[in-house]
Amino acid sequence: MAHVVYLPLVGFVGGTFGSMVGLGGGVFLIPALSLFLGVPIHQAIAASLVAVVATSTTAAAAYVREDLTNMRLGMTMETMTVTGALVGSLVGAALSKGVLSAIFGGVMIAVSAYMALRPRATALPPIDDEDLGALGASYFDRNLECAVRYRVRRLPLGMVASFIAGNVSGLLGVGGGFLKVPAMVLVMKIPVRAAVSTSSFMIGVTACAGSVVYFARGMVDPVVTVPVVLGVTLGAYIGSRLALRVRSSVLTMLVAAVLFVLSVQMILSAAGISVR
Amino acid sequence: MTGSGDNVELGGQLGEQQRREARLNVTISRVLAVGLAAAMFLLVVGVILTLGRQGTVIPRKTSIQGMPGALRAFEPGGFFELGLLVLLATPAARVVALCAAYLRRRQWLFSGISLFVLAILILSGYLGLAA
């Protein structure tokens, strides 16, 4: 069993790097807990889901205050993410350790590819029309020093992506932002800053739906979860400030490489090949 | 009255709408910040109690039924469970706050959407307990 001293450290590192590159931290926490600290994967997933609630709540409180979050769009897409998370958590709690590790390893390869190739902040064509639709919004971009207005396109496709993201979140204990943000930017034509903040806003509720199932089933181990949550919250707070001073492109590629190595280790572990 | 008069009226309505959105943003941000701070406070109290008592055994499973007794006895496990519960309740609380705001504004579509999300969260707890 993991030494309790390492748990807040793992949470802190996951929270710091996760917030610096725009992830909830679950993709770091689960392999670190299960591969290196010997925490059973179901408990690691439960601890990660609760930690994701903490990090996304920290981020969402700041983003909402800065007026970057599209709450009407977030609530609309949440109908699909919470439904997906409920289904995913019920299925995840019933799957074997090997199957879960293999699925997680596969999803992590997708996350590392997303980190390496993810959408950059590109300017969308300006919208002059007054009517932004029921879900469109505007915000003031401090970097561009102008108001950015956008309409929401292809909502049904975005809802499908939200259901899949929620499902992955409940099943594997991650936030699912790596699926939602590209869907919002590339498919729904939402500016990156609004997509990232709206995704953070949604992740808290999505992870809540999944973690409530684990909590009510008694699968949240406080001895593992509490140190991780305290570490990850502090890490997320510090990471969000460090992010402004570090070159994000170098860091993102480094994190993508680390995630890729961890994902291979998870798949090897699922096949019964020891990596410790 | 047409032309500039209409524009002034439209501008006034947009301004009021933006102010209402800004107020709602501040409210939701406060709900999240207060919930997070309360959860962290309870978890830290639990840690302090654990460190202050040599040989304290923390239950390895969450038990909602056992939580009130553990809190009355000032056991760290009770504070850990309540802290985690408050943390999980925080996103749900912001859904309730948004639902109330949409109902006050008579935005029925978004009120219904918020209620649906809330219903799924309640169903999650129910199915978890039932299992």
DSSP A124-174: PPP---S--TTT-EEEEETTTTEEEEE----HHHHHHHHHHHHHHHHHHS-
CA A191, A58, A10, A221: dihedral to nearest 10 degrees? -120
Nearest to A84 by CA among A260, A235, A207: A207
Q: Which of B64, B80, B120 lies closest to A226 in CB terms?
A: B80
Q: Which of B21, B64, B113 lies closest to A75 in CB terms?
A: B113
DSSP character at residue A246: S
Amino acid at B31: V
Q: Phi and psi at residue A141, in whole multiples of 5°?
A: -90, 115
* Tally of structural domains, chain B: 1
Name A192's Cβ contacts closer than 8 Å, sequence gap at least 6.
A119, A120, A121, A122, A181, A185
Asked if B40's CB is within 8 angstroms of A61's CB, the reply is: no
Print the domain residue range for B58: 4-130
Nearest CA in chain A to B14: A130
Asked if B62's CB is within 8 angstroms of A210's CB, the reply is: no
Asked if B36's CB is within 8 angstroms of A54's CB, the reply is: yes
Q: Do the beta carbons of residue A179 and residue A157 sit within 8 Å?
A: no
Q: Which of A93, A208, A219 lies closest to B88 in CB terms?
A: A208
Select from B9, B58, B62, B81 the residue whose CB has the most chain A CBs within 10 Å, as the one to mutate to test that interface. B62
Tokens of A69: 């979050």
**Residue A90 contacts B where some CB pair is shorter than 8 Å:** yes
Q: Which of B87, B110, B128 lies closest to A216 in CB terms?
A: B128
- Chain A residues with CB under 8 Å of B127 CB are 86, 90, 213, 216
Q: What is the ipTM of this complex?
A: 0.82
Q: Do the beta carbons of residue B98 and residue A75 sit within 8 Å?
A: yes
- Chain B residues with CB under 8 Å of A219 CB are 61-62
**Residue A53 contacts B where some CB pair is shorter than 8 Å:** yes
Q: Is the pTM of the predicted complex or chain greater than 0.90?
A: no
Residues in chain B: 131
Asked if B88's CB is within 8 angstroms of A211's CB, the reply is: yes
Rg (CA), chain A: 18
Asked if A223's CB is within 8 angstroms of B114's CB, the reply is: no
Asked if B91's CB is within 8 angstroms of A208's CB, the reply is: yes
H or E element in which residue B92 lies: helix B76-104
Name A125's Cβ contacts closer than 8 Å, sequence gap at least 6.
none
Distance of alpha carbon A146 from alpha carbon B18, whole angstroms: 16
Tokens of B42: 């309870």
Amino acid at A133: G
Nearest to A34 by CA among A109, A98, A114, A111: A98
Tokens of B92: 């749900």
Select from A215, A224, A228, A233 the residue whose CB has the most chain B CBs within 10 Å, as the one to mutate to test that interface. A215
Tokens of A248: 């994000």
- Alpha helices, DSSP H only, in chain A? 6-21, 26-31, 41-65, 71-94, 97-117, 155-172, 177-182, 192-216, 222-242, 248-270
Nearest to A212 by CA among A38, A88, A108: A88
Q: Which SS3 state, helix, strand or coil, does residue A96 take?
A: coil
Rg (CA), chain B: 22
Q: Name the residue ranges covered by the structural domains of chain A.
A: 6-122+153-270
Asked if A216's CB is within 8 angstroms of B36's CB, the reply is: no
Q: Which of A69, A83, A222 lies closest to B77 in CB terms?
A: A222
Alpha-carbon distance values, B97 to A85, A261, B80, B90, B100 (Å): 22, 42, 25, 11, 5
Select from A49, A64, A138, A229 the residue whose CB has the most chain B CBs within 10 Å, as the one to mutate to test that interface. A64
- Chain B residues with CB under 8 Å of A58 CB are 36
Asked if A225's CB is within 8 angstroms of B91's CB, the reply is: no
Q: Which residues in chain B land under pLDDT 70?
A: 1-15, 55-63, 131
Give Cα B77 to chain centroid, integer Å: 22
- In Å, how far is A261's CA from the nearest CA of chain B? 31
Q: Do the beta carbons of residue A77 and residue A159 sit within 8 Å?
A: yes
Nearest to B98 by CA among B34, B27, B39, B36: B27
Q: Do the beta carbons of residue A207 and residue A52 sit within 8 Å?
A: yes
**Residue A134 contacts B where some CB pair is shorter than 8 Å:** yes
| pLDDT averaged per 10 residues in sequence order, chain A, 276 residues | 78 84 76 86 89 88 83 93 89 77 80 71 60 79 78 91 87 81 85 85 88 84 92 86 67 73 75 63
What does the pLDDT read at residue B11? 53
Give the A:B interface size as CB pairs under 8 Å.
Answer: 156
Q: Which of B22, B33, B127 lies closest to A67 in CB terms?
A: B22
CA B52, B41, B77, B69: dihedral to nearest 10 degrees? 110
Q: Which of A57, A69, A213 lies closest to B124 in CB terms?
A: A213
Tokens of B111: 């009120």
Distance of alpha carbon A242 from alpha carbon A79, whole angstroms: 33
